Structure 1
Amino acid sequence: MLIDGELVASASGRWMTSVSPVDEEPLGQVPEGTAADVDRAAAAAMRAFASWRKTSMEERGATLRDLARAIEARYDEILALEAADTGNGVESLRFDLDFAIWTLNHYAGLGYQLTGETVPATAEGLHLTLREPYGVVGRIVPFNHPFLFSVARTAAALMAGNAVVLKTPETSPLGPMIYAEICQQLLPPGLMNIISGRGMPVGDAIARDKRIRRVAFIGSPDTGRLVQKAAAESCVKHVTLELGGKNPMIVYPDADYDAAALAAVRGMNFLWAGQSCGSTSRLLVHESLYDRMVDDVGRAVAAIKVGRPEDPETGIGPMNSRAQVDKALRYMDLARSEGARLVTGGGRVEGPGFEKGFWAQPTVFADVTGDMRIAREEVFGPILSIMKWRDEDEAFALANDVEYGLTGSIWTRDVTRALTAARAVEAGYIWINTVGSHFRAFPYGGYKNSGVGREESIEELFSYTQCKAVTFMP
């Protein structure tokens, strides 16, 4: 791991082994970080911040572009390691790497947008605002996109003038270690600190450290609340959270049916084995299209090729860990017990080549009702639930009757109806006649228990600064 410009072992001397989701064989080891490592990293970040905050926007931008070029130079190496370590399909990971590179270059050019304003508060005075960095910021990264989030979700913080202490995920930590090597070569010591380890104690220590004034977390709502609580028990901090989703895709009778049926499958992110918080895992279909949609989506999902993540023809690979696949299988059993109708999948992948590893079948349940747990709780796995609605009010009630509000997808040819639905669905990111895409420079984040704050946009850049009001009086 990277602390104060050096690649080091943990204070504990212990190591964590990352295993392949394909066959459970060891892939590599990373240090098992401790609270003492976070303490060292925060101290180093404070020292680095004192100098970094004084750099020009040109210098910061040039540094981010250097990072982007270094990733491009090791593109194939990172791609292969991320596929092996996460189980995500190699084609989906090309997007991750391309988006990481793009994000560095994007924020590299946005420094001069950190402008203040003048306010005519009095006739005789000059009243203006400044944007200043927080200092040291913390970032806690999940297992589903470890390299992408280590890079893209720290770019704005660096461009705004902050130093970073980052925690890698407990599973799939190897890709971020390559970024640690890149940062060691290109960044001033202490500007980026990358610590591998477990949520307790490393994540908890990041949330609690008084020197870390701004914390960003991606993960489950339960853990997000723990981050908020730990931060609040330490001091007043700016905390942003991107949490889970149980996202609806609403299909109206006048929708482009063929496009909607394809989108229902694509929106489930099977290339990530459904392990994406933005997946549209609830397909809400008007009764006039319901039976046809169940049949067509079921056939399409049944045809998805299960295979190794490095195979470009693979449509779904293994899940990330034993805990993740066991959870998905429990929800499959639960859905049956609640009365949902299994359309396809519904269990562990069997056969030659699948004796070991974390394999779950891509699964569709129909006749799901709003009171079933499969319709209300985030599985974070390859399970699509199909629900029927009769009128628009019922569709909106089904869409909103969950604790989450991250994304939603609306399918209709009627513009007025589409805009009505976009306003009615309680979610932070709405697609109309499309699904799944993260449009660049467009704010991403959730309502309700799906989080607070926005990322992937200029709002993220501003969120890593504080506003200072300055008044001159004659």
Structure 2
Amino acid sequence: MTAEPTLPAGASRPVDVDALSEATRNRTWSMLIAGELVPAGSGASYEDVSPVTGKTVAQVPDATAEDVETAVVAARAAFKEWAATPIAERARVVREIARRVREHAPEFGALDTLDGGNIIRLSTADAYAGADALDYFADCAVALKGETVPISPSALHYTTQEPVGLVARIIPYNHPIMFATAKIAAPLVAGNCVLLKPPHQTPLSALRLGEIVADLLPKGVLSIITGQGPETGQALVEHPDIRRIAFIGSPQTGLRVQRAAAETTVKHVTLELGGKNALIAFPDADPKAVAASVVRGMNFTWAGQSCGSTSRLVVHEDIREETVAEVVRLIRDMRIGDPFDEQADVGCLVSPEQFAKVNSYLSIATGEGATCAVGGAPSQPAARPHALIVEPTVFTGVTPDMRIAQEEVFGPILSVLSFTTESEAVEIANSVEYGLTGSVWTDDLRRAHRVADALDTGYVWINDSARHFAGTPFGGWKASGLGQEECVEELVSFTQPKAVHVNYA
């Protein structure tokens, strides 16, 4: 996800937060199951609390395994019709979803800021980014083609790509509407039925999406199922009729998904998990450009809640002091305030649990001997005294063995490590269990390629950070995951190949 995605002119609008909170609290929120907007079968719901206001903003359906079964039965019934629908028509439907998402982008942005605490301009931009992803995969529909294999005379050997069937997509809380839209695109275009589970912390925009697009798809092709505890996700992962699972979230939960899936039947599982990503700055790099890139790449605007955050600045000793000074200056210029304020630069952490976790790492860092150069404490802006905000924080004097150099915080904490040789920089960068992204800053072309080759990561920037480019595979190595997304390979991963051999001798 881009650190600061483009927002069309006039797309963001002032929000009356009290009126929005009252509206979300007083209305009925329903899941989309079997083409109908329904409560949980048990009637159960859970409280959705805003990290901006600290108040309950909705009662959300708390689904059980029985609700998942209802969705699966409907998806099974719908699958053959949807798979037989010409791919151009499936692409047209996905483009119409994109059009409606853009039409409602300000509404989605307001819901996500209230629900998850991301700053309003970025929450709104997320809706447009999700719509762009829908359009991208609709455009990729023609890539779902087979091939002929000229292996023997008097025979035709060819392959086709056919949809898997039922797909579970389990998404995280940091980009609610973007993930809810972008992550249904490829499986729908490929001809699958999708069962989407939004995060329990930020479900509202996904539920609203269900209301907006329910009439576009045959009943059962798309279900949106919410649940607070592990039962809903577990029921999706373990259901024998769901043969394809795509999960985005923590490594710990990803391992549980793999384990649970393996214990039921043979499933294709892809995982986009955590990161402890290094931005390496060599002595020939411009310290100001490096500082701007690491601040952008850290995703402080998302409160550091980003798997791709450049949370380790690995900087050559010769430019360390100047680079850190510029990072500190840029952070001090960031505006902390009401996330609904268009001028705010720092969002909330999503929940009290995440807020407590991040604060615990502030104590861990100082306890291990790191020095806080800026930030290092919660912030309570006058406009939003209950907002779950932690100041963007930089720790210097960090060594590779410290926990803040090894563990994913998923919060606004940047660790600064120094090096003197190229091999030392690569060793530090590769010393963690993760392998999602890496960034290399240098004017030496040979060095840039050498280091890019040496990094154990799936996505590398040279003299850049944070930006994603549609069509290039995004995915992690090591504990950061399995599979690639945001590219044609993602679309193909929701199909299965069939080889056909015709003897015409």
TM range (shorter): over 0.9
What is the SS of the residue equivalent to 1:401? Answer: coil
Shifted more, 2-11 versus 354-363: the winner is 354-363
Q: State how far apart, in whole Å, the 2-side matches of 1:40 and 1:183 are.
A: 19
Could you say which residue in structure 2 is the equivalent of 1:442? Answer: 472
* Contact in 1 for aligned 2:109/2:121 (Cα 8 Å): no
Q: Write the mapping of 1:236-251 to structure 2, written as runs, cut at 5 A.
A: 236-251=266-281
Pairing 1:362-381 to 2, within 5 Å after superposition: 362-381=392-411
Q: Distance in 2 between matches of 1:102 and 1:177?
A: 20
Give the alignment of 1:111-122 within 5 angstroms.
111-122=141-152
Shift of 1:351: 5.5
Alignment match of 2:373 (pick from 319, 343, 346): 343
2:42 aligned residue:
12
Query: How far 1:126 moved relative to its partner?
Result: 1.2
Which sits farther off after the overlay, 23-32 or 318-327?
23-32
For the 8 Å contact 1:308–1:318, the answer to whether it is kept is no
Aligned equivalents of 1:22, 1:90: Cα separation in 2: 11
SS in 2 for 1:311: coil
Q: CA deviation at 1:199?
A: 4.9
Partner of 2:245: 215
Q: Which amino acid aligns with 1:206?
A: L
Give how far 1:71 is off: 1.1
* CA–CA distance in structure 1, aligned partners of residues 72 and 384 of structure 2: 43
1:334 aligned residue (338, 361, 364): 364
Mapped partners of 1:107, 1:348: distance in 2: 41
Is 1:138 paired with 2:175? no
Q: Deviation of residue 456 (structure 1)? A: 0.6
CA contact (8 A) 1:256 1:413 kept: no
User: Residues 374-389 of structure 1 correspond to what in structure 2 (within 5 A)?
Assistant: 374-389=404-419
* CA deviation after TM superposition for structure 1 residue 69, in Å: 1.3
Aligned partners of 2:328 and 2:394 also within 8 Å: yes
Deviations 1:354-410 (A, max 9, x none): 532312111100010000000000000000001000101110010000000001111
**Quick check: 1:39 aligned with 2:69?**
yes
Q: Report the Cα distance in structure 2 between the residues aligned to 1:350 and 1:189, rounded to whole angstroms.
A: 46
Matching residue of 2:179: 149
Residue 106 of structure 2, aligned match among 64, 69, 76: 76
Tell me by how many angstroms 1:91 deviates.
Answer: 2.2
Which of 220, 228, 231 matches 2:258? 228
What amino acid is the match of 1:33?
A
Q: Secondary structure at the match of 1:44?
A: helix
In the alignment, is the contact (CA less than 8 A) between 1:139 and 1:217 conserved in 2? Answer: yes
**1:417-436 superposed matches below 5 A:** 417-436=447-466
The one-letter code sitting in structure 2 at the alignment partner of 1:58 is A
Given the two structures, how large is their TM-score scaled by the length of structure 2?
0.92
Are 1:61 and 2:91 an aligned pair? yes
Instruction: Report what 1:182 is aligned to.
Output: 212
- How many angstroms apart in 1 are the aligned matches of 2:301 and 2:321? 26
SS across alignment from 1:234:
coil
Aligned residue identity for 1:339: G
Query: Which whole-Å CA distance do the structure 1 matches of 2:42 and 2:362 have between them?
Result: 40
CA distance in structure 1 between the partners assigned to 2:390 and 2:277 by the alignment:
21
Q: How many angstroms apart in 2 are the aligned matches of 1:450 and 1:183?
A: 32
How many positions carry a matched residue from both structures?
474
Q: State how far apart, in whole Å, the 1-side matches of 2:199 and 2:94 are.
A: 23
| C-alpha contact 2:337 2:382 (8 A) present in aligned 1 | no
Residue 26 (structure 1) aligns with: 56
| 8 Å Cα contact 1:427/1:446 also seen in 2 | yes
Query: What's the CA shift string for 1:244-274, capped at 9, x where partnerless?
Result: 0000000011113221111111111011100
Does 1:253 pair with 2:248? Answer: no
The superposition leaves residues 410-454 of structure 1 with CA deviations (integer Å, 9 ceiling, x where unpaired) of: 101111111111111111111111110111222111000000000
**1:298 matched residue in structure 2:** 328
- Pair 50,351 (structure 1): closer, same or farther in 2 beyond 3 Å: closer
Q: Note if contact 2:190-2:491 (Cα within 8 Å) is conserved in structure 1.
A: yes
Counterpart AA for 2:361: Y
Where do residues 83-98 of structure 1 align in structure 2 (5 Å cutoff)?
Answer: 83-98=113-128
Unaligned runs of at least 5 residues, structure 1: none
Q: What letter matches 2:449 in structure 1?
A: L
In the alignment, the residues of structure 2 paired with residue 370 and residue 346 of structure 1 have an alpha-carbon distance, to the nearest angstrom, of: 20
CA distance in 2, matches of 1:9, 1:91: 31
Q: Distance in 2 between matches of 1:472 and 1:241?
A: 37
User: CA-to-partner distance for each residue in 1:128-171, whole Å, 9 max, x for gaps?
Assistant: 11100000100001111111111101100000000001111010
Rounded Cα–Cα distance in structure 2 between residues aligned with 1:461 and 1:161:
10
2:144 corresponds to which letter in structure 1? L
| SS of corresponding position for 1:427 | coil
1:462 and 2:492 aligned? yes
1:281 equivalent in alignment to 2:281: no
CA 1:438–1:95: 2 relative to 1, 3 Å: farther
Q: Is the 8 A contact 1:267 1:279 kept in 2?
A: yes
SS at structure 2 position matched to 1:164: strand
What aligned pairs does 1:386-405 form with structure 2 within 5 A after superposition?
386-405=416-435
**Distance of 2:385 and 2:228 partners within structure 1:** 28
- Give the percent of matched residue pairs that are identical in Structure 1 and Structure 2: 47
Report what 2:153 is aligned to: 123
| d(CA) in 1 for partners of 2:384, 2:98 | 37
The unaligned stretches of length 5 or more in structure 2 are 1-30
After TM superposition, the structure 1 = structure 2 runs for residues 262-281 of structure 1, keeping only pairs within 5 Å, are: 262-281=292-311
Report SS of the residue matched to 2:224: strand
C-alpha distance in structure 2 between counterparts of 1:396 and 1:106, whole Å: 35
- In the alignment, is the contact (CA less than 8 A) between 1:301 and 1:364 conserved in 2? no
> Higher mean Cα deviation, 403-412 or 89-98?
89-98
| Residue in structure 2 matched with residue 472 of structure 1 by the alignment | 502
Shift of residue 95, structure 1, vs aligned partner: 3.0
TM superposition shift of 1:123: 2.0
Say what the alpha-carbon RMSD is for the aligned residues: 1.1
Q: Does 1:324 align with 2:354?
A: yes
Q: Following the alignment from structure 2 to structure 1, what is the Cα–Cα distance between the partners of residues 424 and 42?
A: 55
Distance 1:161 1:114 in 2: 11
